[in-house]
Amino acid sequence: MSKKKTYEAEDFSHHVTSMGTYFAIFAALMVLTALTVWVAFQDFGSLNVPIAFAIATVKATVVVLFFMHVIHSPKMTAAILVGSIVFLGILFLLTFSDYLSRFWPMA
């Protein structure tokens, strides 16, 4: 009987990302950093914060996908990452549900 392993070892990828990709990602991150600074000096009204946050998220996603190789990793890795952000989201959402409604009038 052939012994099949159940420990999901086949999930480990030895993918080699090329140097060109790494430099391209670095260039993209530099452009996005410049964009962050430029955007901060513009007046988009109440949109400044969401824009800054969006750019930072894009930068983080790029780092995660390419520098941290999530794009070539098992789906489990992305699931772990998304899962932890979901739980952090619960912390934000439910705690803000208190602060934002604290001074609402009583019905």
Contacting residues toward other proteins, per CB under 8 A: 1, 3-12, 14, 16-19, 22-23, 25-26, 29-30, 33, 36-37, 40-43, 48, 52-53, 55-56, 59-60, 63-64, 66-69, 73, 76-77, 80-81, 83-85, 87-88, 90-92, 94-104, 106
| Shortest Å, Cβ 81 to other proteins | 7
Q: CA 92, CA 89: separation in Å to the nearest integer?
A: 5
| Shortest Å, Cβ 15 to other proteins | 9
Q: How many CA atoms lie within 13 A of 9 on its CB side?
A: 4
The pair of structure tokens assigned to 27 is 């260039």
| Shortest Å, Cβ 97 to other proteins | 5
Q: CA 47, CA 53: separation in Å to the nearest integer?
A: 10
The pair of structure tokens assigned to 99 is 């602060």
| Shortest Å, Cβ 80 to other proteins | 5
Q: CA 104, CA 29: separation in Å to the nearest integer?
A: 43
